[in-house]
């Protein structure tokens, strides 16, 4: 008798634009029809590639990793980095599709950032975090523009924003040193003037874009005081005309939990020639425009990875049978996926709200209040979506059972890659403290409350009206919590993460509610309403009155 062998059909991806209800519905609401019509073909093309050839190549290259070649055959130190074939292809697509160029060409005015990030969102999950060097490239172009350094703007920005792959440059952002990534003011790299040229000496501990042609970095001009203000922002070109590294040695590539295709290096700067971008101090302040952009890329990457995990999990649920029925027909499995979908939809609308504000600010169309709002919501969205993506992808892995834990399904990689998103560009805690600075007292919180009321002013469905009251109560409770603790710095700091996440979840819920009402009115689609109900039920107010002394006792727990 023939043996029966069961082969499980794997999950499949469709065109990732056509298949994405949330993105399409959002673009329908947020963009004028003519803008949407102009960009739709490009989005559909990117969605097709992301669900087909790029995804196939990504799975096929699962075990291919970047290599550092330190020596050539004749004993010359070369420190060459070979990136993966998918990364080379991603670079070409990024240039040709204008993933950096679009917001600088600004063909669609304030909507250009929505156009760019909709493409980035489709591109990211199938290109092994090539979005990392792109984020820094976009951030560098923004920081150079903000610096007003005409010579550097003229020299570097046309390369960073080029559509021709032969001209296109990417940029690194070298901040973190072994002494501090969050506390970057402890940096030990020094800058010396030698024969009229600045030369940098020091060690950069995490540099993810060493294959890039340039970098923006921090160093302390000799004689400057310690701390962040004593650092200056420098522009470095990594290689000379012959392609040799400019007095830079790559000590090694990091052996990392995830982002394995990103060549993150430890560098030694042995007198690397550099140019001052702004003045000889205040480097941390001057690099801030770069960080605002890279943090927005981080939020977009988080929603993109959540969406990829859900697309695969939903498809698999239709193909996998257990106890006589497809998982897609099991109420409890559906309930689990629904919770993840609600987190994703809330994160999506929050992220694209930041994107919209950024686009408006860059087009000179943001009011002073919208500029303040952008400063506040950028770190809040980054930290909120960074936590969400890890939680969602952990559940996505579980939703595949044992297959989710097996490397050649490509699923574990999603979770490992996601885990970097709450760490780089500012950890959750560090951005929570940044949120306290950004809100600038109760005034900032009142602005957030006003904005939330404005966002939700059109909701009429009774459930959404109830939810909007909940959002208002949560934001008011957050303001009272903040005012109460303003006199007690330690208590305010101890609660900063729960405070920032409360703000993040409340704003995300407001935005999801607005979309839900719009979808009811224009698409007769109740799914965003269902997502809003779920997200509201999962809790927004995390400000339980927890005691800092308890925290100290628990954190220092030991056998003694
Ligand atoms: C894959 C990868 C790639 C990277 N690429 C780059 C790159 O290209 N360029 C670059 O410059 N950096 C890069 N980084 C570095 C990254 O930005 C830093 O690791 C990050 O900012 C944290 O800094 P740290 O490692 O020094 O951690 P620390 O600052 O030592 O933080 C340790 C812990 O302490 C917490 N903490 C710190 N300060 C406080 C505080 N005041 N209150 C409460 N908690 C606090 C943090 O939240 C964290 O949990 C990369 C990191 C990774 C993992």
Q: What is the pLDDT of residues 349-400, one digit of tens each?
A: 999 999 999 999 999 999 999 999 999 999 999 999 999 999 999 999 999 9
The response to whether residue 217 sits with its C-beta less than 6 Å from ligand 1 reads no
The residues, any chain, with a CB within 8 Å of residue 391's CB and separated by 6 or more, are 343
What Rg, from alpha-carbon coordinates, does the chain have?
A: 24
Say how many C-beta atoms besides its own lie within 10 A of residue 6's C-beta: 5
User: Does the structure show a pLDDT above 80 at 548?
Assistant: no
Q: Average of pLDDT values for 28-36?
A: 98
The response to whether residue 179 sits with its C-beta less than 6 Å from ligand 1 reads no
The response to whether residue 123 sits with its C-beta less than 6 Å from ligand 1 reads no
How far apart are the CA of 184 and the centre of ligand 1, in A? 9
pLDDT in tens, 432-454: 999 999 998 888 999 999 999 99
pLDDT in tens, 292-344: 999 999 999 999 999 999 999 999 999 999 999 999 999 999 999 999 999 99
Ligand 1 atom closest to 208 (CA): 8
Whether the CB-CB separation of 97 and 42 falls below 8 Å is answered with: yes
Amino acid 312: pLDDT: 98
Ligand 1 atom closest to 256 (CA): 1
Whether the CB-CB separation of 369 and 447 falls below 8 Å is answered with: yes
How far apart are the CA of 290 and the centre of ligand 1, in A? 16
CA distance 24 to 22: 6
The response to whether residue 189 sits with its C-beta less than 6 Å from ligand 1 reads no
Read off the pLDDT band of 246 (50, 70, 90).
very high
Q: Average of pLDDT values for 183-200?
A: 95
Read off the pLDDT band of 108 (50, 70, 90).
very high
Read off the pLDDT band of 546 (50, 70, 90).
low
The response to whether residue 384 sits with its C-beta less than 6 Å from ligand 1 reads no
The response to whether residue 298 sits with its C-beta less than 6 Å from ligand 1 reads no
Partners of 69 in the β-ladder:
80
pLDDT in tens, 484-511: 998 899 999 999 999 999 999 999 999 9
**Phi, psi of 235, deg, nearest 5:** -105, 130
3-state secondary structure of 253: strand
The response to whether residue 174 sits with its C-beta less than 6 Å from ligand 1 reads yes
Pocket test for ligand 1, best of 176, 261, 382, 422 (most atoms within 8 A of CB): 176
The response to whether residue 185 sits with its C-beta less than 6 Å from ligand 1 reads no
User: Does the structure show a pLDDT above 90 at 553?
Assistant: no
Take residue 247 and report the two structure tokens written for it: 């007095």
The response to whether residue 420 sits with its C-beta less than 6 Å from ligand 1 reads yes
Ligand 1 atom closest to 428 (CA): 47
Cα angle 411-133-306, degrees, rounded to a multiple of 5:
30
The response to whether residue 423 sits with its C-beta less than 6 Å from ligand 1 reads yes
The response to whether residue 275 sits with its C-beta less than 6 Å from ligand 1 reads no
Closest protein CA for atom 21 of ligand 1: 181
Read off the pLDDT band of 427 (50, 70, 90).
very high
Closest protein CA for atom 44 of ligand 1: 429
How far apart are the CA of 550 and the centre of ligand 1, in A? 26
**Phi, psi of 215, deg, nearest 5:** -150, 155
The response to whether residue 207 sits with its C-beta less than 6 Å from ligand 1 reads yes
CA distance 152 to 154: 5
DSSP string, 197-208: EEEEEEEEEEET
pTM passes above 0.85? yes
Pocket test for ligand 1, best of 139, 218, 423 (most atoms within 8 A of CB): 423
Whether the CB-CB separation of 351 and 385 falls below 8 Å is answered with: yes
CA distance 186 to 178: 9
The response to whether residue 78 sits with its C-beta less than 6 Å from ligand 1 reads no
Read off the pLDDT band of 210 (50, 70, 90).
confident
Amino acid 551: pLDDT: 73
How far apart are the CA of 422 and the centre of ligand 1, in A? 9
Amino acid 555: pLDDT: 75
pLDDT in tens, 247-299: 999 999 999 999 999 999 999 999 999 999 999 999 999 999 999 999 999 99
| Through-space distance between the first and last CA atoms of the chain, rounded to whole angstroms | 65
Amino acid 560: pLDDT: 62
How far apart are the CA of 91 and the centre of ligand 1, in A? 27
The response to whether residue 208 sits with its C-beta less than 6 Å from ligand 1 reads yes
Whether the CB-CB separation of 153 and 144 falls below 8 Å is answered with: yes
The response to whether residue 176 sits with its C-beta less than 6 Å from ligand 1 reads yes
pLDDT in tens, 88-103: 999 999 999 999 999 9
Amino acid 121: pLDDT: 98
How far apart are the CA of 423 and the centre of ligand 1, in A? 6
Distance of CA 495 to the CA centre of its chain: 24
Amino acid 105: pLDDT: 98
Residues of the chain with pLDDT > 90, as a percent, come to 93
Pocket test for ligand 1, best of 137, 430, 499 (most atoms within 8 A of CB): 430
Amino acid 209: pLDDT: 78
Containing 248, the helix (H) or strand (E) segment is strand 248-253
CA distance 468 to 185: 42
The response to whether residue 424 sits with its C-beta less than 6 Å from ligand 1 reads yes
The response to whether residue 205 sits with its C-beta less than 6 Å from ligand 1 reads no
How far apart are the CA of 298 and the centre of ligand 1, in A? 14
Closest protein CA for atom 7 of ligand 1: 207
Read off the pLDDT band of 2 (50, 70, 90).
confident
Amino acid 547: pLDDT: 67
Whether the CB-CB separation of 540 and 527 falls below 8 Å is answered with: no
Amino acid 545: pLDDT: 65
Report the chain's mean pLDDT, rounded to a whole number: 96
């Amino acid at each position: 008798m023939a043996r029966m062998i069961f082969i499980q059909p794997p999950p499949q991806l469709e065109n990732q634009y056509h298949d994405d209800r949330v993105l399409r519905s959002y673009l329908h609401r947020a963009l004028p029809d003519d803008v949407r019509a102009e960009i739709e073909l490009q989005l559909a093309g990117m969605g097709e590639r992301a669900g087909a050839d790029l995804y196939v190549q990504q799975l096929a290259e699962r075990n291919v990793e970047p290599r550092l070649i330190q020596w050539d055959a004749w004993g010359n130190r070369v420190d060459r980095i070979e990136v993966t074939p998918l990364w080379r292809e991603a670079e070409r697509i990024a240039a040709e599709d204008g993933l950096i160029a679009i917001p600088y060409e600004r063909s669609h005015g304030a909507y250009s950032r929505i156009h760019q990030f909709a493409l980035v969102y489709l591109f990211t999950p199938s290109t092994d975090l090539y979005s990392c060097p792109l984020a820094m490239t976009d951030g560098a172009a923004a920081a150079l523009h903000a610096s007003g350094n005409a010579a550097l703007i003229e020299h570097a920005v046309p390369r960073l924003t080029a559509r021709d792959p032969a001209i296109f440059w990417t940029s690194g952002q070298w901040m973190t040193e072994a002494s501090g990534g969050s506390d970057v003011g402890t940096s030990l790299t020094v800058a010396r003037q030698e024969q009229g040229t600045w030369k940098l000496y020091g060690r950069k501990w995490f540099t993810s874009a060493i294959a890039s042609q340039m970098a923006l970095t921090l160093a302390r001009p000799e004689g400057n005081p310690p701390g962040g203000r004593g650092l200056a922002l420098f522009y470095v070109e990594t290689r000379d005309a012959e392609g040799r590294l400019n007095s830079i040695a790559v000590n090694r590539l990091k052996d990392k939990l995830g982002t394995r295709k990103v060549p993150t290096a430890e560098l030694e700067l042995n007198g690397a020639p550099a140019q001052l971008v702004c003045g000889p101090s205040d480097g941390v302040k001057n690099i801030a425009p770069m960080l605002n952009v890279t943090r927005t890329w981080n939020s977009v990457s988080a929603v993109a990875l959540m969406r990829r995990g859900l697309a695969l999990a939903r498809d698999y649920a239709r193909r996998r049978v257990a106890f006589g029925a497809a998982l897609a027909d099991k109420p409890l499995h559906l309930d689990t996926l629904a919770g993840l979908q609600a987190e994703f939809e809330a994160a999506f609308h929050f992220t694209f709200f930041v994107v919209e504000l950024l686009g408006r600010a860059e087009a000179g169309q943001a009011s002073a209040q919208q500029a303040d709002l952008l400063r506040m919501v950028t770190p809040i969205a980054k930290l909120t979506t960074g936590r969400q993506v890890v939680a969602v992808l952990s559940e996505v892995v579980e939703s595949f059972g044992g297959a989710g834990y097996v490397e050649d399904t490509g699923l574990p990689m999603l979770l490992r890659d996601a885990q970097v998103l709450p760490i780089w560009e500012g950890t959750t805690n560090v951005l929570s403290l940044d949120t306290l600075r950004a809100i600038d007292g109760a005034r900032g919180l009142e602005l957030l409350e006003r904005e939330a009321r404005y966002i939700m002013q059109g909701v009429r469905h009774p459930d959404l009206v109830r939810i909007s009251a909940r959002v208002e109560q949560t934001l008011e409770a957050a303001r009272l919590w903040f005012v109460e603790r303003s006199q007690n710095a330690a208590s305010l700091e101890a609660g900063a993460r729960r405070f920032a996440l409360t703000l993040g979840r409340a704003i995300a819920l407001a935005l999801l509610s607005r979309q839900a009402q719009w979808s009811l009115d224009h698409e007769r689609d109740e799914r965003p309403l269902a997502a809003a109900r779920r997200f509201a039920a999962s809790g927004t107010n995390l400000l339980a009155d927890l005691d800092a002394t308890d925290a100290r006792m628990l954190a220092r727990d030991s056998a003694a």
